[in-house]
Chain A
Amino acid sequence: MKILASQDHQAPAEGDTRSVALANDVDALALALDGVERVDLHFPSFTDGRAFSQAFLLRRRRGFKGDIRATGDVLIDQLVQMQRTGFSSAVLREGVDAADAQRQFEMFPGFYQGDAVNHQPIFADKAATA
């Protein structure tokens, strides 16, 4: 997952059909995805978790292969959840230090449930190795 500082991110320009910015109350299942290479999802506050579901639906349900980007109130402590729900890039909130970010990805060797990236839950792995 790519981690960006705010100055390295440009919101989609007017008329840009390849990048789309989606408000977090919009139905991700209804979005037209033809020719779309990047979808910017939004966290108005990091405690508003609607974009996690939007990302999951775009990545897993619809099979979107392009960049799903987290914007808004993005902190390093939610990066792993973002990565697991299908985000492929994240624009850190102004002033947030990326230094501690990498460590977050190394905290857990595995998780119980399947997600947008690793579809199978851990018990499926057990069944596979049984």
Chain B
Amino acid sequence: MYQYTEFDKTFVHQRSRQFRDQLERWQAGKLPEDDFRPLRLQNGWYVQRYAPMLRVAVPYGEIASRQLRVLATIARDYDEPEAAVFKAAMDGQGLLGTTFLPKNCAHFTTRTNVQFNWIPLSKAADVMDLLASVDMHGIQTSGNCIRNTTTDALAGVAVDELIDPRPYAEILRQWTTLHPEFAFLPRKFKIAISGAADDRAATGWHDVGLHMARNEAGEIGFKVFVGGGMGRTPVIGTVIREFLPWNQIMNYIEAIVRVYNEHGRRDNKYKARIKILVKSEGQKYIDDVEEEYRQIMEIDGGPHTVPQAEFDRVAACFVPPVLADIPDADPAALAASLQAQAAEHVAFGRWLKRNVHAHKNAQLRAVTLSFKRPGQSPGDATSEQLIAVADLVDQYSAGEARVTHDQNVLLPWVHASRLFDLWQEAKALGLASANVQLLTDMIACPGGDFCSLANARSLPIAEAITQRYQDLDELDDIGEIDLHISGCINSCGHHHSGHIGILGVDKDGKEWYQVTLGGSDGSDLSGAAVAGKVIGPSFSAAEVPDVIEAVLGTYRDLRESGETFQSTVRRAGLDPFKEAAKTARHKEEAVATA
């Protein structure tokens, strides 16, 4: 993991000080609400339906055990609303049928950050100081600026990795941090980077997507995509540069963002992302960027060309850790031993198959702790769980973990000889559900229970489906499938890229849900990145689990040997699924609020 220098540490402490100053001026009435809002957003502070929401940055998903412990402290001591606030929330959501609202917990997001839903603004500055003490912050996790650069949770360990993207992600993080020219863009700006053959970072869905590759001369560089995005107008990014030398990445992104800052639409907030500019300008946008890049290089002298020495300094942090006290072992013997253990313990075998991933180093594995189980919102972690996970991370993964795009936690450095012990400890914590990549390993945003933008609640939908699909044999039979749930068109739950997507819509002031099929994040399993297609008019909350069941039943009926859900949908088309969904509609006229 990147090790903060004195400069880096001072920087986040000063940022925390600056935020405290802004917060105090706002509290004293010296800074009006409208002036304070963008400032607190650029430190990660939203004001939500009942309480503030804090989004803590986890740069490219990497997190250390000591950082998990601080998140646990924040969950336990700060993620606690005042009684009146909580009562208002329970009363308000109770009208819709909500009986439980999680608190004292952290939430893992689809951009691998961490959110808290209840911290009072009066405590905000203290929380930012606490985060700074472990090199954490909320810098630019919200606002119309460049956000967290994300990558795939297997970066640095994946078997199909061509180039480790992490050093480049860290270099990008530093260059984008408090960039003075790009703090007030037309809209938010998100970058994702993939260094593997399989794109597990959903790069096609980002404002800038980067694929690492080597050219014919063996030199490292990026294929650059621009203009992807979700929301009201889902678009997949287009190629703007087939090959950009690695050390030009900041100069080139400077050109991309400058042209966007100058020409992105500012008249309509729903048409302000770069995807709109790219679509409407087409080749002119590309020409403008290339001309700006040429001037950055030839007139400005390319000041952000990354020197080899700087790359080496950063890359030196991203080396495999030395695992203490574990003797080298023959990978084949390790694998045989695991097979034997799996034969003896069926549950361990299931977990091995689903939650444990192959590793560049054949003695090691990457392990996903599943935060998807009945009775707990997808991606939520209680304070106790965070502390326990921090201990597991120390004991089994050399102190390093990853927050995943699927809202789980991954341990990247587990020795294969220790998997059985890890499984038992994870099982005791309820984090060993053998459901990774299966139906109940769903993505869900916090939705209407927390978010003032939402049209509908997402958590009861997630819970209902999780409850219905608890049988591991059935989940295995359905196989790998991406179910993504968003409470509104802002798509924080990435419903557009779900093989099954569920989108909360507001119809007549009530909660309804659109179901889409065939969406893809651009990974090999999912196929070329594309938005899912709607399979019929919206459904009520009560109908949704029945619709899912009908759709999955159709899959089982139609599938040819070995076909995944996604493959069957692509081969058979949507019509059979549309027909099946119709049968799931309830006969009752007006559905009482669930």
- Whether A100 pairs with B304 at a CB distance below 8 angstroms is no
Chain A residues with CB under 8 Å of B313's CB are 123, 126
A85 in contact with B295 given A108-B14, A127-B309 (CB within 8 Å)? no
- Whether A123 pairs with B181 at a CB distance below 8 angstroms is no
- Whether B304 pairs with A113 at a CB distance below 8 angstroms is yes
- Among A105-122, those with CB < 8 Å from B are 107-115, 119-122
Q: How far is the CA of A113 from the CA of B313 in the complex (A)?
A: 17
CB nearest neighbor in B for A122: B7
Which of these, A50, A111, A120, contacts B262 with CB under 8 Å?
A50
B360 within 8 A of A: no
- Among B151-200, those with CB < 8 Å from A are 174-175, 177-185
B424 within 8 A of A: no
Chain A residues with CB under 8 Å of B14's CB are 107-109
- Whether A49 pairs with B303 at a CB distance below 8 angstroms is no
Which of these, A80, A85, A112, contacts B181 with CB under 8 Å?
A85
A49 in contact with B181 given A109-B10, A112-B175, A113-B175 (CB within 8 Å)? yes
Q: How far is the CA of A122 from the CA of B144 in the complex (A)?
A: 24
Chain B interface: which of A5-13, A33-41, A53-61?
A53-61
A130 within 8 A of B: yes
Q: How far is the CA of A111 from the CA of B12 in the complex (A)?
A: 11
Q: Give the interface centre of A77, A103, A126, A130 by most chain B CB atoms within 10 Å.
A: A77
Q: How far is the CA of A48 from the CA of B264 in the complex (A)?
A: 11
Query: Nearest-CB distance from B20 to chain A (Å)?
Result: 11
CB nearest neighbor in A for B295: A61
Q: How far is the CA of A122 from the CA of B175 in the complex (A)?
A: 9
Q: How far is the CA of A78 from the CA of B144 in the complex (A)?
A: 14
Size bracket of the A interface: 35 or more
B571 within 8 A of A: no
- Whether B175 pairs with A107 at a CB distance below 8 angstroms is no
CB nearest neighbor in A for B37: A47
- Whether A53 pairs with B307 at a CB distance below 8 angstroms is no
A81 within 8 A of B: yes
- Among A35-79, those with CB < 8 Å from B are 46-50, 52-53, 56, 60-61, 75, 77-78
A124 within 8 A of B: yes
Q: How far is the CA of A111 from the CA of B176 in the complex (A)?
A: 10
- Whether B144 pairs with A107 at a CB distance below 8 angstroms is no
A60 in contact with B300 given A50-B261, A113-B179 (CB within 8 Å)? yes
B232 within 8 A of A: no
Chain B residues with CB under 8 Å of A120's CB are 303
Q: Give the interface centre of B30, B178, B258, B262 by most chain A CB atoms within 10 Å.
A: B262
Q: Give the interface centre of A52, A108, A119 by most chain B CB atoms within 10 Å.
A: A52
Chain A residues with CB under 8 Å of B262's CB are 50, 53
- Whether A84 pairs with B180 at a CB distance below 8 angstroms is yes
Query: Nearest-CB distance from B184 to chain A (Å)?
Result: 3
- Whether B184 pairs with A46 at a CB distance below 8 angstroms is yes
Which of these, B21, B266, B306, B309, contacts A48 with CB under 8 Å?
B266
Which of these, A46, A80, A103, A124, contacts B307 with CB under 8 Å?
A124
CB nearest neighbor in A for B264: A50
Query: Nearest-CB distance from B535 to chain A (Å)?
Result: 39
Q: How far is the CA of A109 from the CA of B178 in the complex (A)?
A: 13
Q: How far is the CA of A2 from the CA of B301 in the complex (A)?
A: 29
- Whether B178 pairs with A130 at a CB distance below 8 angstroms is no
CB nearest neighbor in B for A52: B181
- Whether A48 pairs with B181 at a CB distance below 8 angstroms is no
Query: Nearest-CB distance from B333 to chain A (Å)?
Result: 45
- Among B388-408, those with CB < 8 Å from A are none
Query: Nearest-CB distance from B249 to chain A (Å)?
Result: 13
B575 within 8 A of A: no
- Whether A81 pairs with B35 at a CB distance below 8 angstroms is no
Chain B residues with CB under 8 Å of A94's CB are none
B470 within 8 A of A: no
Chain B residues with CB under 8 Å of A100's CB are 21, 25, 30
CB nearest neighbor in A for B38: A47
A49 in contact with B182 given A61-B295, A127-B309 (CB within 8 Å)? yes
Query: Nearest-CB distance from A37 to chain B (Å)?
Result: 23
B contacts, CB < 8 Å to A: 7, 10-11, 14-15, 17-18, 21-22, 25, 30-31, 35, 38-39, 144, 174-175, 177-185, 250, 258, 261-262, 266, 295, 299-301, 303-304, 306-307, 309-310, 313
A contacts, CB < 8 Å to B: 46-50, 52-53, 56, 60-61, 75, 77-78, 80-82, 84-85, 97, 100, 103, 107-115, 119-124, 126-127, 130
CB<8 Å pairs between A and B, sample of 15? A47-B144, A50-B266, A52-B181, A52-B261, A53-B258, A56-B181, A100-B30, A111-B180, A112-B175, A113-B174, A113-B177, A114-B304, A120-B303, A123-B309, A124-B303
- Besides A53-B181, A108-B18, A119-B300, 18 new A-B residue pairs in contact (Cβ under 8 A), listed by A number: A47-B38, A61-B300, A75-B35, A77-B22, A77-B39, A81-B181, A108-B14, A108-B15, A112-B177, A112-B178, A113-B250, A114-B304, A120-B303, A123-B310, A124-B307, A126-B309, A126-B310, A126-B313
